[in-house]
Amino acid sequence: MTRPALALLFLILGSAVSGCVAPLLAGATGAVVADEVAEENQGGDGLF
């Protein structure tokens, strides 16, 4: 394969992977924030 073709292939694969991982990161961030809020309001260990 030529260099531009490889670059295009990696770009397509990278965007597909990041599209699948982004919702998982957003959900994990939401869980951490919710746990911190619960710790502040209730004290103790929070949700987890």
47, amino acid identity:
L
Torsion, Cα 28 30 31 37, to 10 degrees, reads 150
Q: Can you give 8-38 as a three-state secondary structure string?
A: HHHHHHHHHHHHHHHHHHHHHHHHHHHHHHH
* pLDDT for residue 40: 87
* pLDDT for residue 38: 87
* pLDDT for residue 4: 87
* pLDDT for residue 24: 84
pLDDT digits (tens, 9 = 90+) for 1-48: 688 888 999 988 888 888 788 888 889 999 999 998 888 888 888 777
* pLDDT for residue 47: 78
Using CA atoms, how far apart are residues 22 and 36, in angstroms rounded to an integer?
A: 21
* pLDDT for residue 43: 82
